[in-house]
Structure 1
């Protein structure tokens, strides 16, 4: 399902760089080994690691869709991927509430 592709990309990107760097700093500060987060930062990297594989999976999935579903199908699939990506960390607050309310009132293109 496209949502799983999006969620997988979000998961693989979630700690790369900032999150893993902050975790390593905290572990170092309290005298713990940083090996776990250092390895994950390396394994999940965006150039050749799991994050790159997740992006490649999305590219591969989308590559054949125009032939099978046409341009509208690609747009719908991309929206489903985006929903999966956002599901890891959904937006909150007033703006998100307003956006959700507007989406229920504005008809979508079919």
Structure 2
């Protein structure tokens, strides 16, 4: 995936996250976020703040973003199959038939 496919903010944030890792081989980051089968900008219809959209990654775009970070990285990516609540608001619930899926990831320095 080309760098132009990602915003400068995404690349900057990913580089900053990588700085938290120890330079030691095997150090890792584990987390989860919302993604989708297709990577794209997604409108937030209920947003009451300036940010009215967010980018949803898929496995290809997520790995491509980490390819832009200096160093060598191994990424693991897996969609969570069960519905998950992401907050107190009922609109924050992800259902199995939703376009947005929760995915887990592991980023390891190799």
Coarse TM-score class (shorter-chain normalised) = under 0.3
Larger Rg: 1
Q: As a proportion of its length, which structure holds more strand?
A: 2
Q: As a proportion of its length, which structure holds more helix?
A: 1
TM-score, structure 2 normalization: 0.23
TM-score, structure 1 normalization: 0.23
Larger relative contact order, structure 1 or 2 (CA cutoff 8 Å, min sep 6)? 1
